[in-house]
Amino acid sequence: MKKGGSVNATNWRQIGSNVKDVFRSPTFLVPVIISVILLVLFFLRRYIRWTVKCSSKNDMEGKTVIITGGNTGLGKATAYELAKRNARVIIACRNDIKGEAVARSIKIKTGNPFVYCSHLDLGNQRSIREFVQDFLSKESALHVLINNAAYLGPKATTDDGYERTFGVNYLGHFYLTYLLQDRLKKCGPSRIINIASDAIKKGKLDFDDLPLRSYDIYGAYARSKASLGMFTMEAHRRWFDDTVTSYAVHPGAVCTDLLRSWPGIFGQVLRVASRILFKSPDDGCQTIVYCAVSNGLKKFSGRLFSECNVGSFPESLRDKEQCRKLWDLSLELCGLEKEQDSEDQEPELNTNHVTNQTTHTKSQ
């Protein structure tokens, strides 16, 4: 009995040793590690790509919409969705050839003949003025302005000498919107939709360092989106009484051409990751469409939307004095005269919440 017990103990020790060898073997570890990585990527992809679809069925017939950067990515997907709803869509972009091709494609796919392309370079204030002059001479109405175009990349300057990320993403859109304000007011109720980003949480605006002497690609992008958020709130305070409402939209992480200018290996990794993990433009544009077509959003003017629900800007951006200061600085940088503040009559931001509601009437 004793001898048998000793043999059994030896066998169990041998089995345990063999099991340890198996677990330590590359033929076991490699597949397990790969499986864990794939599982993590699968759930991460599901989380990032989670999307709330726009439930509104509102028609946009008789409404005119401008979309900057509408020849690619989010802008293109938004243009297609609004054209399906019978809107008159103007795609404003730098690449005329690509823009015209996109406009033709959308016309064919939607059967909507009122989709056009017009040249606009947001990094050139003269181009912005020419675009506005051309638009006002051809179009009698403007109901929705979607400021979508963006730059993210190495340090560069606009044709007017401003840091390019700030100049294109924010200042160019400010100038464009300001020049179109009379047409927006005339056609009220009208809407301004600024495409923001989760990066606004990291955005820091130093009025004494507009050139960004210590340049960081993501930091510059975050600053530009934070400025757009401040612009959204200040536009609400100044133009709400003229029936012009303004909204900012965080579309989520979307696979677009935005990362094409990020240099180096890190840029290549980001582009590959975006193709695997990020939302498609068709999903990413849903909240933009929601803010463009849905009823009942007027009381949420000046707010940030994400996944077809209203949220709030970070506390760091909600300083009224800083918003006014940015507005006045922007007027100066665009060669415009400073305005008189109507501080006593300015509307307050609604802090309640709204959920994605299904509507089936014509957009108001």
- The residues annotated with a catalytic role in the active site are 221
Q: How far, rounded to the nearest angstrom, does the alpha carbon of residue 54 sit from its chain's CA centroid?
A: 16
* Cα separation values, 250 from 21, 197, 198, 324, Å: 51, 5, 6, 23
Could you identify the residue written with the tokens 């970070």?
A: 314
How many C-beta atoms lie closer than 10 Å to residue 306's C-beta?
A: 16
Cβ count within 10 A of residue 81: 22
Sole residue written with tokens 């190495």: 154
Residue with tokens 């993590």: 40
How far apart CA 161 and CA 226 sit, in angstroms, is: 21
